[in-house]
Structure 1
């Protein structure tokens, strides 16, 4: 399992690097578009669409990275007062519910992203298949599933130590 954790560390490292590049590109394109529009009265037909599609990818893939590092919102009002073993059991239950929900979203994300309505539709500005922006959904949830499985291992290891 140590190999799996290192692999997930590497995946998150690459993800954060790509997210940083994506945010830089989004910022540059937005600034360029604002300057071009206000100074010259012109605009690129693809700029707003590119930034929107990149924002979708940053949201879902960045959400997965935040999920692994525990950066998402969590209410620990109740769990903070529980004994350690009860906390772990509650985490195990919560992780199970989250995993079932993620599997549902992953499955539906793939079926929707690959549906003929999406596959046969092209974006107006970039002219790319709409499958590309929609695939951020199953990819983000797929990463969250992998991270959730890693979390299972951590919880079970801690339960065995107790």
Structure 2
């Protein structure tokens, strides 16, 4: 197993742990909040923010795992009519275009997430810098770029295998 694959496995396990932990926190806090509001008519001022910020993290970090596993939405009506060789070539092109687009999103989400306006802005409920919830965007996009780059060996192998090279 090469270094890239080892890093990929560590990241995959870390992402799974983070997503499961955040989903558990979201569930616990939501259940407690519903109970408190129903029984006591009270709520924690930070609970809604914690659930919202956790959902954002689960969405962007979890999307990187869906991207890695190929579980993203795909429109295959057009590609289904192509030969296998053309589908493989198209897959390489699409992966490249997607990585370019993700790099664009990463660049601007990083600039925005760590701009002075966002870093200095403090959330009302949790009292944390808004850079923390916003940082889920560049982290998610960076993970998708990393996993997208990891698809090239298999994609190129499929292209060469069909071409007889």
TM-score range, shorter chain: over 0.9
After superposition, residues 9-20 of structure 1 pair within 5 angstroms as 9-20=9-20
Secondary structure in structure 2 of the residue aligned to 1:68: helix
Which aligned pairs between 1:1-162 and structure 2 lie closer than 5 A?
Answer: 2-162=2-162
Deviation at 1:11, TM superposition (A): 1.1
Structure 1: tracts of 5 or more residues without a match: none
Aligned residues: 162
The 3-state SS of whatever aligns with 1:63 is helix
| SS of residue in 2 equivalent to 1:30 | helix
Q: Structure 2-normalised TM-score? A: 0.93
Q: Which moved more, 1:73-82 or 1:84-93?
A: 73-82
* Structure 2 unmatched runs, 5+: none
Question: How far apart are the structure 1 equivalents of 2:80 and 2:63?
Answer: 24
In the TM superposition, what whole-angstrom CA distance separates every residue of 1:50-96 from its partner, at most 9, and x where no partner exists?
00000000000000100000111001122223222111110011111
Q: CA deviation at 1:41?
A: 1.0
